[in-house]
A and B are shown apart, each in its own frame.
Chain A
Amino acid sequence: MTFILNFLPELVLLVGALGLFVVALGESQQKFARTVALLVAFATIGAAAASLNQHADLFSGAYRVDQFSQLVKLVLAFGFACILLLSGDLPDIRAEVKPEYFLFLTLSVTGLVMLVSCVEIVSIVVALELSSFPLYLLVPMRRERAGHRSQMESAIKYIMFGVAANGIMFFGLSYLYGLTGTTHLFPLASRLAPVVHTPLAITGLGLAFCGLYYKLAIFPFHFWTPDVYQGASNETASLVASLPKVGAVAVLIRFVSLATPENPAVATMLIYLAVGSMFFGNLIALVQKDFKRMLGFSGIAHAGYALIGFVALDQAGFTAALYYITGYLFMILACFVVISRVSRDGANVAIEELAGLHRRSPLLAATLLVAVFALAGVPPFVGFMGKFSLLTAAYAQGHLALVVIAVVNSAIAVYYYLQVVRQAVFGESNPAAVAEPLILTWPTRGLCVVLIVGIVALGVAPGTVIDTIFHSLAFVHSGPATALLGR
């Protein structure tokens, strides 16, 4: 009985996935499949909330249910429900594969939910694949039409980069296994500690991070990002942009905590990657015309910000990184709600097409403004608090130069975010046909309000969330709670 409670979110998702499989076997039951998927999503939220305070080691220690994993599962389940709500009737997915779309979506979330609990290398690898494979298949499900076949190109780019990054990761993991002789992360950490300064251990750790950098779209592993965002349908892009990053940060916390705080090599490596991601993402986002592509480059920059938290290599830094990526989930989903509602027939949205949005739909315009200001790091929103806690954590460990570079990058980013705002608020939509009002359904309105409230609430009152995350990260070795917002 306790096993069922401990494993409840996964069980709900797995049973839901099998149910969707049965639904997908019939004649294209699109509406029914969507209802089932939504039910699964809300049931998963409930299950994750019910098992929030469980502690257990399942499957002979390969699977750890603790506060950290359950918290991330709750966030993932929430994001899953949001993506289902914003995807609506999947206007840009081929009609005959719409039920399968919901099936693959559910399976990908299942993989991520299992990923955050795995503490054994083989399980982590399989869970990572379980979350990636459906994504590879969701990208080419976009409809083909005249002059638009880029989804196949982006799908091939996505899978090639994914396979290569995973191969590099497995290579690094094999080094770690060879050094320690165990695949369980906790014994591995203690056995790795005496040899963590040797080149072999650093090489192993560095290579092992690569698969997660790919998921997060960190600078040298980012090449797929803009093309996949642009080539995939709006709904798929909203999934690729949000949930895998949360999962990757959670696993990266488990991996990076293998490196002790006084390990300069790992910290230096992370600093270079963070700086590269921030500059690359922000500078190229400046010239983008397609909104999704711009979000892709800005996503690279935001992954760089999240990496700043890892540079500190302590509990405060990891807390800040997880808090930031949770906030990022809200911000990016809010942006994608606007994209999928503004886009006509599921086509990509250029930034100019946002012109006059405040007249067409005030609620969407408000959602866009809140999301974009939050991404830019304007004070009352979660983006500001997230960056602030990241920089505090890095500064506490003496990384002054990194803090300065991050602030400079935030300033660069303001330019292209404000361009979006300028179009949405002051832009004039000249053809009258485009200016027709957008009628939103009630679920969409509810989703917009929830996301706005989430972005504001996480930014105004971050105390509870940060405290909860901080305590859930108690398994990280570091002793006294170092400076984070004066705590």
Chain B
Amino acid sequence: MTQLQPMAEFPFYFFAFLTVLAAAGVVVNRNAVNAALCLLLSFMGMAALFVLLEAYFLAVLQVLVYAGAVAVLFLFVIMLFDVKGGDPRKPYQKVAAVSGLLALALLITGVLSLAKHSQLTAAAPVTTTVVGSDLKDYGYLLFTKYLLPVEMTGFLLLIAMLGVAMLGRKQGKETGASIQEAGGGRPETGGRRLETGDRRDSLSESRVP
């Protein structure tokens, strides 16, 4: 394990901005394919940041697992669902404009107050040992110091797997007929079931205040 070197500044800022911008692109993009590609770009930027931190093993994992498997899986799913473009952009509502302005004002106030006090550098950064560079060290840590979280993650994965199986299963017999009529069982229209369903009982309408 080597001590962490101070990062080169320019590459760090470059990849950090790339990651954040790509992540913002995921949120802003209306087109699902573009959003998934932005996600891929964001993952790659993160991998580059890991390289700068000399955590080469983590960087490889990031590319293999997230960029290679997760993002590509998203693309496959989008392809299978055959999502057409994005929804047309609705005109901004007054509430959205006002709350956006409020958030902007809050951000500006925060930045100004930060610039005025600017004590962010007061605490010295702590140097820590690099964890993700060497596979052997990494595995050793996982099964000694971080044994408990690793074991708990196993249960977490069990829950996620069971949950997906449960949610993906067709609805029971008692309501099966009505849902079949609405086309709920088939993937093509599965995502739109909530929209076509009876909205009278919707929470947003029955809310009192």
Using a CB–CB cutoff of 8 Å, the interface residues on chain A facing chain B are: 14, 17, 21, 58-60, 62-63, 94-97, 100, 103-104, 107, 110-111, 114, 118, 120, 122-123, 125-127, 129-130, 133-134, 136-137, 140-141, 143-150, 152-154, 178-181, 191, 195, 198-201, 226-227, 230-231, 284, 287-289, 293
Contact = CB atoms under 8 A, between A and B. Distances in A.
Contacts of A146: 178, 198
A94 B172 contact: yes
Contacts of B171: 94, 144
B148 A133 contact: no
A145 B108 CA distance: 48
A294 to B, nearest CB: 10
A153 B208 contact: no
A147 B145 CA distance: 52
B99 interface: no
B122 A178 contact: no
B153 to A, nearest CB: 6
A60 B145 contact: yes
A114 B152 contact: yes
A17 B123 contact: no
Nearest to A294: B208
B123 A63 contact: no
B187 interface: no
B68 to A, nearest CB: 23
Contact of B202 (A59, A107, A150): A150
B146 A129 contact: no
Contacts of B146: 62, 122
A287 B208 contact: yes
Contacts of A103: 162
A123 B122 contact: no
Contacts of B202: 149-150, 153
A144 B179 contact: yes
Interface stretch (B8-16, B31-39, B82-90, B125-133): B125-133
Contact of A178 (B119, B126, B166): B126
Contact of A199 (B114, B145, B160, B200): B114
A203 to B, nearest CB: 9
Contacts of B114: 199
Given A126-B156, A133-B163, A198-B122, A63 B148 contact: yes
B126 A153 contact: no
B175 A96 contact: no
A264 B178 CA distance: 58
A147 B158 contact: no
15 contacts: A60-B144, A60-B147, A62-B147, A96-B169, A120-B148, A126-B149, A126-B153, A130-B152, A137-B162, A141-B166, A149-B194, A149-B197, A191-B126, A195-B123, A200-B120
A181 B128 CA distance: 6
Contact of A137 (B128, B163, B198): B163
A122 B155 CA distance: 15
B208 to A, nearest CB: 5
Contacts of A178: 125-126
Nearest to A62: B148
Give the interface residue-count category, chain B: 35 or more
Nearest to B178: A146
A122 B208 CA distance: 40
B209 A287 contact: yes
Given A143-B175, A149-B197, A107 B159 contact: yes
A97 B155 CA distance: 19
Contacts of A231: 203
A223 to B, nearest CB: 11
A180 B127 CA distance: 9
Contacts of A120: 148-149
A204 to B, nearest CB: 10
Contacts of B98: none
The 5 closest A-B pairs by CB, nearest first: A181-B126, A59-B148, A137-B163, A195-B123, A126-B149
A130 B159 contact: yes
Given A95-B174, A200-B122, A153 B148 contact: no
B82 to A, nearest CB: 23
Given A110-B155, A179-B126, A227-B207, 15 more contacts: A94-B171, A94-B172, A103-B162, A122-B149, A126-B148, A130-B152, A133-B159, A133-B160, A144-B179, A146-B198, A153-B202, A153-B203, A198-B120, A201-B123, A284-B209
A122 B81 CA distance: 36
B183 to A, nearest CB: 15
Contacts of A59: 147-148
Nearest to B165: A100
A269 to B, nearest CB: 14
Given A144-B171, A179-B123, A284-B209, A230 B203 contact: yes
Interface string B177-209: 011000000000000001001101111101111
Nearest to B198: A147
Contacts of B28: none
Contacts of A145: 175
A164 B8 CA distance: 31
B94 interface: no
B136 interface: no
B39 to A, nearest CB: 15
A97 B170 CA distance: 11
Contacts of A149: 194, 197-198, 201-202
Given A97-B166, A147-B201, A153-B203, A288 B208 contact: yes
